[in-house]
A and B are shown apart, each in its own frame.
Chain A
Amino acid sequence: MLDARGPPVQFELQAGEETKLQELTRHWMNERHAPDILPAQSVLLGRLLDHIRKQNDTVQLLRADPDSSEEEHFRIMLAQTEIERVKFIVRSYVRTRLYKIEKYARYIVATPEVQERLSETELQHARRYAHLVESHFHRTVLQSLPEEQRGLADETAFMPPMIPEPDKTRAVFAMARTNCPPVRLPDGSTSEMEKGQISLTPYYVVEQLLARGEVELV
């Protein structure tokens, strides 16, 4: 560690239980910053979508009522604003995953442990997308090449790989949500993050901590 540890954080992040929305926001930011695809939060997403639907129904019901007061109008307006905000987060979360799935489609299809992190629909999409890209490459270029050069899986030294993989050495800013167990750093030393500490470190160092929810990416 290079810097002396700073004084304890005086401004605690808002204490108390994490709401479902805060939880999704955290996963959204993790997904945005992590180079790899993180486990799908299907249950959480489903519950929030249900909540949006219910809230929407309530709003529709209130709006249909012709003699609602001015107070009611404000409640409706605020509820609608919130629905839009939550929808934005949900959409951006799903799009971030979709982007990674399309980018690494062929890597996903070839790697079973990554497939476990995807939801059923995401996995189907990855398979179809990978197939589409491969057959496109084949039809447009590869079929006209000599037979031994037609494969997409060749490993030439010093060339970027033909199947893009997430770069787990990319650095991320991680913030500890609790006191974390020690992790090994690339230079051989170990480091223990205290609650609230922020570190810039390669992704693979904090990968396990992130999976257990002990750090979040900021």
Chain B
Amino acid sequence: MALPISLRSSVTPPELELIASEQLIEIIPLISMDKTAFISGAYGPLRPPAKCRLPIWMATNLKLKKKCHIVPPEWLNIDFLQDRLTRETSQPEFCAMPFRFAEVAKIILDVASDDVENPDKIRSLLKDLREARQAKSREGITKLDHSELTLPNLCSMEINEIRPFFIRSMGVLTQLVREPSAAGDI
């Protein structure tokens, strides 16, 4: 078949990671390289120790070969995450986070945990944050109807997580309110 069953109803987390790794991130290169034209744009030149902005996939690639240090984004530190977690647990609504924070955080912690300060603490904060937000999305289902649900500040990975259940629920609600006249045409 053209598309495997597992890919038909939703996208997979690795695919979201692929999209997220097109975002730019700062690195401190350990090798030099002239400015080079890539399909997504021209990057460089790399001149250690000057910082440079590259797509995340390029940064992880160089990092795995020990050719650069990754500068974590400003939101990936204990103070910021702790603050967000406090707000997340004290307010009813979702806090603003970068749309693809879960993917970016995972990539950076996977390949460059030595460039992040206190990675274990950050991992556990991210996990707490995720659980607090997950609980809120589950509550969100009570507000679902057949027409619209606005989801402020929900992030890419979280949407993907709730997608199958929310789409189905809305489908059932749509069927329940369908005009009696339309029911004959099915």
Contacts and interface: CB of A to CB of B under 8 A. Distances in A.
A55 interface: yes
Interface string B126-160: 00000000000000000111111111111010010
Nearest to A14: B23
Contact of B2 (A9, A10, A99, A202): A99
Chain B, interface residues (CB within 8 Å), range: 35 or more
Contact of B3 (A83, A89, A99, A198): A99
A6 B94 contact: yes
B22 A2 contact: no
Contact of A85 (B18, B93, B159): B18
A111 interface: no
A21 B171 contact: no
B57 A171 contact: no
A46 to B, nearest CB: 14
B165 to A, nearest CB: 11
Interface of A: 1-7, 9-11, 13-14, 19-22, 25, 29, 32-33, 48, 51-52, 55, 70-71, 74-75, 77-79, 81-83, 85-86, 88-89, 92, 95-96, 98-99, 102, 157-161, 169-173, 185-187, 189, 191, 197-202, 205, 218
Contact of B31 (A11, A22, A71, A102): A71
A157 B40 contact: no
A2 B39 contact: no
A88 B18 CA distance: 10
B111 interface: no
Contacts of A88: 18
Contacts of A74: 31, 33, 62, 67
A96 B10 CA distance: 11
A51 B149 contact: no
Contacts of A197: 150, 152
Interface of B: 1-3, 7-8, 11, 15, 18-19, 22-24, 31-34, 36, 38-41, 57-58, 61-62, 67, 93-94, 96-99, 143-154, 156, 159, 163, 166-167, 170-171, 174, 177, 184, 186
Contact of A200 (B24, B93, B170): B170
Contacts of B40: 19, 21-22, 82
B178 to A, nearest CB: 9
Contacts of A218: 156, 159
B3 A2 contact: no
